[in-house]
Amino acid sequence: MKTIKAVKMQGLGNDFVIVDYDEYEKSGLSMEVFAMKICNRNFGIGGDGLIIPNLTPNDGCDIGWYFYNSDGTSAQMCGNGMRCFAKYAYDKKLVDKKQFSVSTLAGKIIPEIISDEEVKVNMGKPIFEDEKIPFKGERKITIKDRTFEINPVSMGNPHCVIFTDENPYKMAEIYGPEIEKHPYFPQKTNTEFVNVLSQNVIHMGVYERGCGITLACGTGACASVVSSILNNLTENKVNVKLLGGSVTVEWHGNSENKQKDVFLSGRADYVFEADYIL
Nearest to 52 by CA among 28, 80, 81, 79: 81
Q: Peptide bond before 53: cis, by omega within 30 degrees of 0? A: no
Measured distance CA(30)–CA(41) in Å, rounded: 19
Judged by DSSP in three states, 172 sits in helix
**Tens digit of each residue's pLDDT (9 = 90 or more) over 47-67:** 999 999 999 999 999 999 999
Q: What is the pLDDT of residue 195?
A: 98
The single residue of 78, 84, 211, 222 carrying the catalytic annotation is: 78
What percent of the residues of the chain are helix, what percent strand, and what percent coil, each to the nearest 5? Answer: 20, 40, 40
Give me the tens of pLDDT residue by residue for the chain, a chain 278 residues long: 889 999 999 999 999 999 999 999 999 999 999 999 999 999 999 999 999 999 999 999 999 999 999 999 998 999 999 999 999 999 999 999 999 999 999 999 999 999 998 999 999 999 999 999 999 999 999 999 999 999 999 999 999 999 999 999 999 999 999 999 999 999 999 999 999 999 999 999 999 998 999 999 999 999 999 999 999 999 999 999 999 999 999 999 999 999 999 999 999 999 999 999 98
- 217 is a catalytic site residue: yes
Q: What is the pLDDT of residue 182?
A: 98
The single residue of 39, 84, 160, 217 carrying the catalytic annotation is: 217
Measured distance CA(198)–CA(277) in Å, rounded: 48
Q: The pTM is what?
A: 0.91
Q: What is the pLDDT of residue 1?
A: 82
Question: Which amino acid appears at position 103 of this protein?
Answer: S
Length of the chain (residues): 278
**Tens digit of each residue's pLDDT (9 = 90 or more) over 151-184:** 999 999 999 999 999 999 999 999 999 999 999 9
Judged by DSSP in three states, 106 sits in coil
Domains located in the chain, CATH noted: 3-125+268-277 (3.10.310.10), 140-260 (3.10.310.10)
Measured distance CA(225)–CA(247) in Å, rounded: 11
Q: What is the pLDDT of residue 278?
A: 85
Q: Do 190 and 217 contact (CB within 8 A), yes or no? A: yes
